[in-house]
Structure 1
Amino acid sequence: MRIVDIREVTLPIKSSIRNAYIDFSKMTLSLVAVVTDVIRDGKPVVGYGFNSNGRYGQGALIRERFRPRLLEAAPESLQDDSGANLDPHKVWACMMTNEKPGGHGERSVAVGTIDMAIWDAVAKIEGKPLFQLLAERYGSGTPNRQVFVYAAGGYYWPGQDLEALKREMQGYVDRGYTVVKKKIGGDTLANDMKRIEAVLSILPSGHKLAVDANGRFDLKTAIEYAKALSQYDLFWYEEAGDPLDYALQAELANHYAGPMATGENLFSMQDARNLIRYGGMRPDRDWLQFDCALSYGLVEYLRTLDMLKDHGWSPSRCIPHGGHQMSLAIAAGLGLGGNESYPDLFQPFGGFPDGVKVEGGYVTLPELPGIGFEGKADLYAEMKQLGEA
């Protein structure tokens, strides 16, 4: 078997929202289709992937570097031992041929996007949901199809007042979420506290709020927020400072006893390892948000999970950023702690297959081959257009 083609299209996911650092008015992503010569139900198997929000489309890198390497490779060099399927690890190694160590910037997103499509194709060729394939190859053998999800929202947007913020969060609660997240750092500390208290005022007993600074703060401001936030029982305090400022993160742990979260903007196992070594993260309470779609894909994520195990961390402390079905499948197959969700944003790429409901903060993944994109009609309409071009 072989890869016949790799197709990319750059699509807008623009929205009139902002966090503490960026706005999303010109945000794009890359959608990729990996077309194989394997036939199922009379059609070629096509794997699909896309990069998470918060970065931009990767078309140039995909077209100029990574697509040519895969299409020029000898087909057998990308196959598993049976010769009937792709080996994602061999595909990854081919993509990274002639790439120097370090420099984990945009190329990690381009590789992660193609890697997602490769795993989708591999699981479809096997005729299994990706979560089942992962559980059999790398997990306990039995996936946990029930996955915790939280609702990410609470962005700053034009004309928003406290009542509008409360209506947004109430909508997430009404849809079954037990944890909601809002942004901080895009206003004054005093106004952010008002926003926090407005959200807390509508949350039922047993529900929690997480807050996210998107890396905005210097150490002084991060500590000021930590002291103010300590009065609340928050689910977590996320990404207070620059994601590579491990000294800031480590010092912050001396001023905030509650759970903290970070990692979504680390793009390699080595970056993740430095966070664990030097960032003062606490495996009994803190959360890790590495996103495979931004960090070289699942092949690299597996290395990251192995590293975490070596350092005494459980995969259950990982709740990936991104809100996409790839991380849902990884969570179910490899025992992660859950996944981010964007109920109303970045559509049609966020969310779940049609008919999947949030119940008590959890979703149950359906038995769909591959990642399950075909179960989400609006998303698959975009994918099918590219895959059958």
Structure 2
Amino acid sequence: MKITRVETFAVPPRWLFCRIETDDGPVGWGEPVVEGRAETVRAAVHELAEQFLVGADPSRIEDLWQLMSKGSFYRGGPVLSSAVAGIDQALWDIAGKSLGAPVHQLLGGPVRERARAYCWVGGDEPAQVRDQVAAQVDAGFTAVKMNASGRMNPLPNLAELDEVAARAEAAREVLGPEGDFAVDFHGRFSTAGAVRAAGVLEPYAPMFVEEPVLPEYTHLIRRVTDSTRLPVATGERLFSRTEALPALQAGIAVLQPDLSHAGGISECRRIASLAETFDVTVAPHCPLGPLALAASLQLAFCTPNFLIQEQSIGIHYNKGAELLDYVADRSVFRFHDGHLPRPTGHGLGVEIDEKAVRKADGSAKSWHNPVWRHRDGSFAEW
């Protein structure tokens, strides 16, 4: 079996899909994308395809991963690792389909029968948070995540800290003591500001506080973990084991690799195993499309230290299309009591509606994240 063609499809709302075709076997699908840089990653996928993939044996997943990741003098970074990630997902999809098994079965078999998931709530005001959390509870979910704040001064003042606390209080009132909410700092605070904000959140016991410092300041995250009783999470902007290691050594509680950014199933499997040696749980980052979610679930079901799965159905980023629009069998992503069932289909376990993908290709404007500024006109972290 040889790879004969690699195609990419840029589809709304902001996703990139990869399709790998073979001469005598199944087709594999993956999701290589950097949000806001989809076309850049698309170019990288085709460069890798021309250099390493076309004519190669798709079953040599690890060898191809090594070539794609290390076969050029300059390596790493979000664009290359995301291109490799989507290709890696597609190769595992082919392997599972060829062998008649889900990917998690090839990685040692399932360790659970259902995976807990959380929804995003995007309310900026406490009243909105309360209503949106209540809606998710009514839908059967037991966990949500929300931003700690909007635009934030590096050192938040008392009024800003009060707003952070008010959102958390609203979520806790709705969820009660048995529900969970996570708070995403999104790297908007300075390290000292994150310490302050974590302090006001402690009475509400969030499941974790996420990305309290920017990834380039991972060497400072211990200042946050040492200052608070709250579990600290990070990892969506760390793209390899070597980048995740300092955060693990600094005492984080939850690691959040993204299977469409951090080298795909192959590398995220290794990242999860590394996290286990630090007694750290894994909550894969995934505000993306159906293939990224399907790949994340394959990891979730064979990973002992899995905690919870992010998913993007209904997320505020999704404008013009939804995750289920590109899926032929939607039952794969059917929630029950806030959990997703173990996928039993071969490969990634999801059947893509190829006609819908080809029709949607190129139909959306390129998505770019907002650019924020502080009141004095200087750049503000989004």
Q: What is the TM-score with the length of structure 2 in the denominator?
A: 0.80
Structure 2 residue runs of 5 or longer lacking an equivalent are 152-159, 288-292, 362-382
> Given the alignment, which residue of 322, 330, 340 partners 1:348?
322
One-letter identity of the residue aligned with 2:195 = I
Change (3 A) 1:266 1:382: farther
The equivalent residue for 2:256 is: 289
In the other structure, the counterpart of 1:175 is 139
SS of residue in 1 equivalent to 2:301: helix
Equivalent residue runs for 1:212-361 within 5 Å: 212-277=184-249, 279-281=250-252, 286-309=253-276, 311-313=277-279, 317-323=281-287, 324-335=293-304, 336-345=306-315, 346=318, 348-349=322-323, 354-355=330-331, 356-361=333-338
Distance 1:90 1:62, change over 3 A: same
Consecutive unaligned residues of structure 1, counting only runs of 5 or more, are: 14-27, 40-44, 80-85, 136-140
- 2:60 — aligned with what? 87
Asked if structure 1 preserves the Cα contact closer than 8 Å seen for 2:258 and 2:286, the reply is: yes
Say which SS state the counterpart of residue 340 (structure 2) adopts: strand
Against the structure 1 CA distance between its residues 116 and 382, is the aligned structure 2 distance closer, same or farther, given a 3 Å change threshold? farther
What residue in structure 2 maps to residue 29 of structure 1?
15
TM superposition shift of 1:67:
1.2
For residues 59-110 of structure 1, what are the alpha-carbon distances to aligned partners after superposition, in whole Å with 9 as ceiling and x for unaligned?
11112x211023455x3xx35xxxxxx1211221232353236542311111
2:254 aligned partner, one-letter code: W
1:198–1:213 Cα change, 3 Å: same
CA contact (8 A) 1:52 1:294 kept: yes
Following superposition, the deviation at residue 313 of structure 1 comes to 3.0
Q: C-alpha deviations, 1:162-183, integer Å up to 9, x for none?
A: 4433332222112221111111
Evaluate the alpha carbon distance shift between residue 68 and residue 366 of structure 1 in structure 2; reply closer, same or farther with a 3 A threshold: same
- Which whole-Å CA distance do the structure 1 matches of 2:337 and 2:238 have between them? 30
Aligned pairs (5 A) from 1:38-117 = 38-39=24-25, 45-51=26-32, 54-57=35-38, 58-63=41-46, 65-73=47-55, 75=56, 78=57, 86-96=59-69, 98-100=71-73, 103-117=76-90
Question: Residue 6 of structure 2 aligns to a residue in which SS?
Answer: strand
Native 8 Å contact 1:69 1:94 kept in 2: no
CA distance in 1, matches of 2:324, 2:91: 19
Give secondary structure in 1 for the equivalent of 2:215. Answer: coil
Query: 1:11–1:354: structure 2 CA closer, same or farther, 3 Å change rule?
Result: closer
Q: Give per-residue Cα distances to partners, 1:193-240, cap 9 Å, x unaligned.
A: 222222222224411211001111112211110111112111111111
CA distance in structure 2 between the aligned counterparts of 1:204 and 1:271, rounded to whole angstroms: 36
Partner Cα separation in structure 1 for residue 300 and residue 110 of structure 2: 12
Match of 2:375 in 1: none
**What is the CA–CA distance in structure 1 between the aligned matches of 2:286 and 2:324, rounded to whole Å?**
8
Distance 1:54 1:334 in 2: 26
Shift in Å at residue 328 of structure 1? 0.8
- TM-score of the aligned structures, taking structure 1 as reference length: 0.79
Number of the residue aligned with 2:183: 211
* Residues 102/72 of structure 1: CA separation in 2 closer, same or farther (3 Å cut): closer
- Superposed CA deviations along residues 344-389 of structure 1, whole A, max 9, x for unmatched, are 0245337996234433332212321211221x7xx655447699xx
Query: Do 2:12 and 2:360's aligned partners in 1 also have CA atoms closer than 8 Å?
Result: no
Distance verdict in 2 for CA 1:114–1:382, change over 3 Å: farther
Question: Residue in 1 aligned with 2:370?
Answer: none
